[in-house]
Amino acid sequence: MRAMAPCTCFDSRAAAAAALWLLSMVGISANAAEGTATAGEGTATAAQATATPEATATPEATATPEAAATPEATVTPEATTSPTAGTVKAAEVTTTVPPAAAAPKLPATLRATYFVSGLQVGELRVLSNAPAVAAADGTLSATTEPYGQTRLVSHRLRIMPEVELEKSVRLVSEVQLMTGNLDAAGPTTRFVEQGRPRGGDRGGFGNGQSFDDQLLVRKLGLEWRTPVGMIMVGRMASQWGMGLLANSGDDDLQDWGSTHFGADRNYGDVVDRVVLATAPVALFRDSDWARRLILAIGGDVVVRDDRVNRSDGDLGREGIAALRYKDGDNEIGAYFAYRDLVDRNSDWLRVSAIDLFGRYRTRIGDLELSGSGEGVFVTGHTTWGADAGIPELDVKQLGYAVKGGATYLPLAVGGDVEVGYASGDSNPADTHLRNFSFDPDYNPSLIMFEEARAAQTAALAADASDPARSGYPPNSVRLLPTNGAVTNAVYVRPTVRYAWHDLKARLAVLWAHNAAAVVNPYLLKLTSRSYNYLGGSATAGNMGVEVNVGIDYSYRFEDWMDLVPGLQAGRLFPGPAFTDAGGNEHPAVNAVFFRLQGRFLPPQG
């Protein structure tokens, strides 16, 4: 056993372990298929706490501290050379053959990704802008109308140059060159400004746009390997665990749907950050477990997420810390973040979040078992949603997702079951803020949350922001649309999967129920009674069942490019939670979604 002296046992392997983990945090992961380090998800942002405008409008989104870095790359010791490599023995004679010289590593690599997706969706019903009147017995006179969105085609082109400046210093970047909607049918005009861009106002080309409208530097940072760990400084995307709290928006090939850009055309959670990752125990003890235990600490300023945008005048500062242990495919980690935010309207948010994440995989004969889970608790205070009578809100929110499954390897057939929960808030007029919201880029299905609930809350924001209907609209109205996020819900989703060579298919059935009564804050203020988003019963919790099927195919062109086309289809059978004021059930909704990802891979060094 090596003596426990400072620094003497923090050898190059320990430094490499910390470096690899931080690279995974900030978006660089070892990719065996490509043979190169690939930029990806990046360190997580700290708090996206949702603020529900209580008394006037209740945003379904949770302003939760965005998660801090999570290692997705495998932490491995440096490779060692076999003592017998290059040696040939014949009888009593031993001839040593010098190993072939390794090809020089390229000082720079260039990768690029182009992604295009399209959605065709059936009729989505929302509350109309006709006057709503409640009778003495509580019966509501209100009507619904189509949301108007039937088609949306979007695209995204990004390039990712990386340059090795010195042996221990590397520059990592990502430039987004084109983003926008190539084609859009709907939504109705009064909904266009609510929630994420869904119309032609964010076109992919033309429409009077300049090149500056589409050019974005999403990532630009320096990685510095030091004797005590890895330091990274610069702009990076944020990803932790499964992506419930912080989501980089870089996963183009998730099971259902796709990631979405915001009004600024940017994707995911992006921060300007300084962070250090080190293996603290390895400073004093030379062992594998010590090198696998990584601590990261840092601070950042939020560039943008689904609720905050620095270019609009929001100033969010965060302190983050993460502890993670990884052994092969198995890992466990904890992340803590504190966010202090003052937004464009001088409202403030001060919240802390703790996020626990784990993943496990093992093999028993021909059966592979796997599981993963993430749980988030948020606490703090905010003025988001406050008014003259309630100057400040108490924030306490909870969300989690747990998934377990098995695969029979000889037939490549398997399945898994995912259970998710996001706390709700049944009283938008008290001093508490309880509704947690998953990051909108975490999609458990194709229609229910992503389209139906998103359309209803966009209509809610349109009603609440209409001066002719609500007087002076509160600042918090912009927080009302869910943008497709899971909130105030519990769901169960079993999935069956099959893989045949480069073809992958899946079939999923999702059932969801409101976690708490869904109360339309606009109707509550108007009638002093509780109704859902369509004017129906606020306590009818069954959201219904959704069936989705998807297929993807991967095709590789030599070693320089691969294409992944995919097709998905779904049908939502809405439950009583989607019933309107007249007791009418929402009609079934069909959707078809296609996507194509093309990746240019860097040449091998």
| pLDDT tens per residue, range 12-53 | 333 333 333 444 444 333 333 333 333 333 334 434 444 443
Q: Report CA torsion sign: 74, 326, 338, 426.
A: positive
Q: What is the mean pLDDT of residues 163-185?
A: 91
- Going from the C-alpha of 100 to that of each of 34, 97, 257, 328, 343, the distances in angstroms are 21, 9, 47, 30, 59
Give whichever of 107-111, 185-189, 354-358 has the largest mean pLDDT: 354-358
Higher pLDDT, 178 or 69: 178
Q: Percent of the chain having pLDDT more than 70?
A: 79
- Residue appearing with tokens 């069956």: 496
The CA distance from 53 to 425, in Å, is: 11
Largest CA distance in the chain: 105
Amino acid at 230: M
347, pLDDT greater than 80: yes
Three-state SS sequence of 285-319: CCCHHHHHEEEEEEEEEEEECCCCEHHHCCEEEEE
pLDDT at residue 213 greater than cutoff 80: no
Instruction: Rounding to the nearest 10 degrees, give the CA dihedral for residues 187, 192, 195, 200.
Output: 80
Does residue 526 contact residue 435 with C-beta atoms inside 8 Å?
A: no
The predicted pLDDT at position 2 comes to 33
Q: What are the structure tokens assigned to 53, written together? A: 């405008």
Give the residue with greater pLDDT, 322 vs 183: 322
At residue 471, the pLDDT reads 58
Q: Looking at the predicted structure, is the pLDDT value of residue 391 above 80?
A: yes
**Closest to 504 (Cα-Cα) out of 403, 380, 412, 433:** 412
**Whole-angstrom distance, CA of residue 544 vs CA of residue 576:** 7
| 424 — pLDDT class (breaks 50, 70, 90) | very high
Cα distance between residue 289 and residue 446, in whole Å: 41
Residue 528 CB-density burial (10 A; 0-12 exposed, 13-18 middle, 19+ buried): exposed
- 387 is written with which tokens? 């008014």
Confirm if 478 and 343 have CB atoms less than 8 A apart. Answer: no
Which pLDDT belongs to residue 316?
Answer: 97
Q: Are 213 and 229 in contact (CB under 8 A)?
A: no
Angstrom distance (rounded) from CA 462 to CA 187: 12
Categorize the per-residue pLDDT at 501 as very low, low, confident or very high, splitting at 50, 70 and 90.
very high
**What does the pLDDT average to over 227-242?**
95
What pLDDT is attached to residue 604? 57
- What's the pLDDT at 522? 84
Cis amide leading into 187 (omega within 30): yes
Q: Look over the chain and give the mean of its residue pLDDT values, rounded to a whole number.
A: 82
| C-alpha separations of 24 from 273, 529, 540 in Å | 15, 49, 43
The two tokens of residue 468 are 């002719």
- Averaged over 217-238, what is the pLDDT? 95
For the chain, the residue count is 605
Instruction: List Cα–Cα distances, 480 to 116, 227, 402, in angstroms.
Output: 28, 48, 27
Question: What is residue 14's predicted lDDT score, i.e. its pLDDT?
Answer: 36
Strand, helix or coil at 71? Answer: coil
pLDDT for residue 533 is more than 90: yes
* pTM summary value: 0.83
Lowest mean pLDDT among 241-250, 282-291, 472-481: 472-481
pLDDT grade, residue 592 (50/70/90)? very high
Q: Which of 18-27, 193-202, 325-334, 527-536 has the highest mean pLDDT?
A: 325-334
Question: Mean pLDDT over residues 360-379, rounded?
Answer: 97
pLDDT at 534 exceeding the cut of 50: yes
**Mean pLDDT for the stretch of residues 331-342:** 97
460 SS3 class:
helix
pLDDT at 85: 36
DSSP-derived letter for residue 437 is B
The Cα–Cα gap between 325 and 443 comes to: 27
